[in-house]
Structure 1
């Protein structure tokens, strides 16, 4: 073999080996991991604070005089309110896209009921010798209330600040279960709290009512799957029966509801967590 052919062969071998070595030195691209896709389903849990609500109420005066038994008149409460209370809620929901989601929730709170009203003129005159306009006789009513709401809600998320903090607005429709406990009604001749005052007990009533809500707040992304939800909720609950007649009136023939409320406008601030499944 000639010297020139040997040199050509060596050169070819060197070029081939260098190309293979260079190919080995080129870093191979790493496989790209696809981001997990959310299933859309989520669970939520909330705690909140329901502010005091000053509502309205009315009650029927049952005439117990023999031969005249029946409702003589209907009187309005001077004060009819639910006290402030903590609330607790849970629910399950589904996200359709970045802007629309829905959920079903159940919430509970246990406020105190307080009411006050003036004695009818007949009671003020016959029992305390008082006449209009100088009637100071009144009733001081107290009870506790259990309130449950079951709502179907829809929300519009507004990702105007990016995916980390997302404001939202929402609305809901459903039902409220209002369960009044036994009411103690103190008859105050001159001053409430006097140990000589007489008290009556009225059985609490319960019923289901229509309820509707409006919501606004913001969601903060904590870990992707876990989100913090803080917001405000307004709920209107329609009126219904509250308390039955006392035993004395029942013995005189009274039945059904004596006291009714005009419904409630509930204002709640709340904070909770949402966990989205992947």
Structure 2
């Protein structure tokens, strides 16, 4: 009887242990994943003011013009004809420029520039009919004017540029500008070379014409590329074409003035200026390309005040029964 009782108690204990084990198997602890710390990514400013400085080379160019023929004969002293001036050549020269601008977006910027160069000028044309008649030579006798002077040109332009994207730190661009040019001629030396005709004088006539100055309309087209030296400092190199409108060139010489001539005698038909330029551009706000980025906008991470480190989860949490 006693052994049966012990056996029954043992069976009841085993069943109870199995039940508790089964309940324990149903306990599922949910894993704890600490939330990641938020990160704020702020774009580096791509807009803002910039300064630029450039040096360049203006290539030789050629234009033409016209001049008034003043009749010096007594009683008929007036402009009796207007003659074509065949060639006015500006020689190659160095140029210098500076400007201030503003970048609006990664691709659009505007600036105002002031550029200067001074060039030697050479001109030539056939002698007009008055000179030929006074020398008693034919029109095809080889008589011509040989003229020399200098011209100083300032251009003040408002320019717009489109940056075409940055590739490995290089940003190509195209641009256009509108503004004004101030053209100032030095006094012109005018020599009449008569030629080999027997009626030509033994000594060539040499006269001096006062140089004129004038403000003129100017426009330009440009293309080039900038290279990132740093995020703010750029090396800029490119080509610029500038069209300068026609204007006054020189006045009358002493012989014509003594015969009553006043005002402007000769004018040019404007200039086509071709130049290559290189310089530095410092952008206070930084540029869209960024140093070495090769694309888009440069960014700099700024971390929020929430720490990246989280306190570890407690070792024990109340079990969740399912």
Query: Is residue 216 of structure 1 aligned with residue 223 of structure 2?
Result: yes
4+ residue stretches of structure 1 with deviation over 3 A? 31-39
Deviation string 1:34-70 (CA, Å, 9 cap, x unpaired) is 6753561110000111111110111111001111011
Following TM superposition, by how much is the alpha carbon of 1:123 offset from its aligned partner in structure 2, in angstroms?
Answer: 1.4
Paired residue for 1:6? none
SS in 2 for 1:207: strand
**Structure number with higher relative contact order (C-alpha < 8 Å, ≥ 6 residues apart):** 2
TM alignment of 1:67-216, pairs within 5 A? 67-127=75-135, 129-132=136-139, 134-159=140-165, 161-162=167-168, 164-190=169-195, 196-216=203-223
Deviation string 1:182-226 (CA, Å, 9 cap, x unpaired) is 0000111117xx993221000000010000000101110111111
Following TM superposition, by how much is the alpha carbon of 1:248 offset from its aligned partner in structure 2, in angstroms?
Answer: 1.5
Q: Which runs of 5 or more residues in structure 2 are unaligned?
A: 1-36, 286-322
Instruction: Report the number of matched residues.
Output: 244
**Structure with greater Cα Rg:** 2
Q: Normalising by structure 1, what TM-score? A: 0.83
SS in 2 for 1:110: strand
Following TM superposition, by how much is the alpha carbon of 1:97 offset from its aligned partner in structure 2, in angstroms?
Answer: 1.1
Paired residue for 2:259? 252
Paired residue for 1:10? none
Contact kept in structure 2, 1:121 and 1:131, CA below 8 Å: no
Contact kept in structure 1, 2:246 and 2:270, CA below 8 Å: yes
Query: Is residue 264 of structure 1 aligned with residue 268 of structure 2?
Result: no
Higher deviation after alignment, 78-87 or 148-157: 78-87
Q: Distance in 2 between matches of 1:214 and 1:39?
A: 23
RMSD, aligned α-carbons: 2.1
Q: Normalising by structure 2, what TM-score? A: 0.72
Q: Distance in 2 between matches of 1:99 and 1:34?
A: 19
Q: Which runs of 5 or more residues in structure 1 are unaligned?
A: 1-28
Deviation string 1:112-163 (CA, Å, 9 cap, x unpaired) is 1110011123312322x3113x32111100000110000000000011525x
SS in 2 for 1:77: strand
Query: Is residue 47 of structure 1 aligned with residue 55 of structure 2?
Result: yes
Following TM superposition, by how much is the alpha carbon of 1:78 offset from its aligned partner in structure 2, in angstroms?
Answer: 2.2
